[in-house]
Structure 1
Amino acid sequence: MARESSESSTPGRLKQIVQTYKMTRRVDSKVGLVLAAVGIVTFGVVLAIGFLIGHPIYAGILGFLLAFLAMAVVFGRRAERAAFGQLEGQPGAAAAVLENVGRGWSVTPAVAMNKSQDLVHRAVGKAGIVLVAEGNPNRVKSLLAAEKRKMARVVLDVPVTDIIVGTGEGEVPLKKVRTTLLKLPRVLPGPKVTEVNDRLRALGDLMKNMPVPKGPMPKGMRMPKGR
């Protein structure tokens, strides 16, 4: 059964690699030439060394393996760069990155937003609470402040880190969001992370279930202005 499962997953992996290559090629038209050059140069260098030391056959085998490994590394990097290039500037791009941060993080996309599609996403892990904002830097600051005030109702003793996605001063490029999160110091034990998540979920339910006044609007009352 294990062998059948492995064989059935192989076509899926190959299909995924092909799809990734096609996606990368749409953004990076030279990826095929670059991979071919990396493979040929790596194989050629190792084979030449093999002739010099008198073991061309062994060097050829080793060169083939090293060439395949080098091509895989280069392809992975260029595919990642192409993927970020396609996400850059799209609403919700930071949420897509956060969803792939890895185990140990609980991500809630779009905990705050405004009419201009500026967004704040929340990630909770052993580093505490991380609020990741994307959009206009001036507008997202007010969103971040409002979200902190809301969270202060239920969590007071947990560190909160702000990240504004962008290329300006003090901002974090989209491709470095994951690395930035993983570099944060771990300050909370596992049980505390669970407790914080439960409190924040309860806060979300509380805000969602708040009673809305019914009936006609009182005279003289003004509608609140959007952010």
Structure 2
Amino acid sequence: MARKEKEQDSENPGRLKQIALTYKMTRRADRWIGWVISAVGLGTFGVVLAIGFLLGHPVYLGILGALVGLLATAIVFGRRAERAAFSQMEGQPGAAAAVLENMRRGVAFTPAVAINRNQDVVHRAVGKYGVVLIGEGNPNRLKTLMAAEKRRMNRVVSDVPVHDMIVGKGEGQVELQKLRQKILKLPRVLPGARVTEVNDRLRAMGDLMNNLPLPKGPMPKGMRMPKGNVQRRGR
């Protein structure tokens, strides 16, 4: 029993440290985060406490207000922290891959199925909506990369719908923080077994980055691909 309590106590400092690090990271992109979450927490507590005085139960409603205030603070902090993280990742090569790798089950994600020396890269996601090609980089160069990848895929999955999206803030592009939601809103046309079959066929073609030792997440700015690792086309 004592050992279990000791283990729980040892976990708390780690959680608190993680929260502190998240707060510091968020504050770099959102300098008002401290004021906002304080206002949310105290405001929520004040409203519930005022209702408690009106109903003649300030103690009970005060306790409830404190709990609701903490919950509201956690929700607002979580959303603003996520937004800050996306803003710091925006524009970095590989940022979309970092987001898509955390998508829920039922989505088969393969990063960097096509890439060129300018760091323009195309990722692939397979789900009940079909196949989605996600491009990061220069929109004009990505059109060529994505068109070549579509022709390559058409040889093995010609009957599957293929959607393409380019990550960015320009016209017709998808913002990084909205990418996951955009994909999940696509109409579902394939059963689960068919998704597995399609993904297996595509992976059987071979992926450009299978044997390339790249770190996970966004790639450092200024990193250039070796001349040998360019766009792969089917032969």
The residue number in structure 2 matching 1:98 is 100
Q: Distance in 2 between matches of 1:205 and 1:53?
A: 66
Q: Distance in 2 between matches of 1:194 and 1:50?
A: 55
Q: Distance in 1 between matches of 2:138 and 2:209?
A: 26
Selected match of 1:172 from 171, 174, 185: 174
Matches within 5 A, 1:141-220: 141-204=143-206
Selected match of 2:62 from 39, 55, 60: 60
1:112-166 Cα distance to aligned partner (Å, 9 max, x none): 1111111100011111111001111111111110000111121111111111111
Matches within 5 A, 1:102-121: 102-121=104-123
Q: What is the TM-score with the length of structure 2 in the denominator? A: 0.82
C-alpha RMSD of matched pairs (Å): 2.4
Displacement, 1:9? 5.3
1:11-64 Cα distance to aligned partner (Å, 9 max, x none): 544333232222112221221121111111111111111111111011101100
Q: What is the TM-score with the length of structure 1 in the denominator? A: 0.85
**C-alpha contact (below 8 Å) 2:110/2:124 kept by paired residues:** yes
Displacement, 1:206? 10
**Structure 1's 11 and 103: CA in aligned 2 closer, same or farther, altered over 3 A?**
farther
The residue number in structure 2 matching 1:215 is none
One-letter identity of the residue aligned with 1:178: R
Q: Distance in 2 between matches of 1:34 and 1:207?
A: 43
Q: 4+ runs of 1 displaced by more than 3 Å? A: 3-6, 8-15, 205-209
Q: Distance in 2 between matches of 1:16 and 1:82?
A: 16
Q: How many corresponding residue pairs?
A: 210
Q: Distance in 1 between matches of 2:210 and 2:187?
A: 33
One-letter identity of the residue aligned with 2:176: L
**Using CA pairs below 8 Å that are at least 6 residues apart, which structure has the higher relative contact order?**
2
Percent identical pairs in the alignment equals 70
Q: Distance in 1 between matches of 2:179 and 2:129?
A: 14
The residue number in structure 2 matching 1:124 is 126
Give secondary structure in 1 for the equivalent of 2:187. Answer: coil
Q: Distance in 2 between matches of 1:132 and 1:90?
A: 14
Give secondary structure in 2 for the equivalent of 1:204. Answer: coil
Q: Distance in 1 between matches of 2:63 and 2:78?
A: 23
Displacement, 1:178? 0.5
Q: Distance in 2 between matches of 1:174 and 1:30?
A: 22
**C-alpha contact (below 8 Å) 2:89/2:95 kept by paired residues:** yes
**Structure 1's 30 and 204: CA in aligned 2 closer, same or farther, altered over 3 A?**
same
**Structure 1's 53 and 30: CA in aligned 2 closer, same or farther, altered over 3 A?**
same
**Structure 1's 28 and 208: CA in aligned 2 closer, same or farther, altered over 3 A?**
closer
Q: Distance in 1 between matches of 2:177 and 2:209?
A: 33
Displacement, 1:4? 4.1
Displacement, 1:202? 0.8
**Structure 1's 205 and 95: CA in aligned 2 closer, same or farther, altered over 3 A?**
closer
Q: Distance in 1 between matches of 2:32 and 2:113?
A: 39
Larger Rg: 1
**Structure 1's 46 and 182: CA in aligned 2 closer, same or farther, altered over 3 A?**
same
Q: Distance in 1 between matches of 2:121 and 2:157?
A: 21
Give secondary structure in 1 for the equivalent of 2:134. Answer: strand
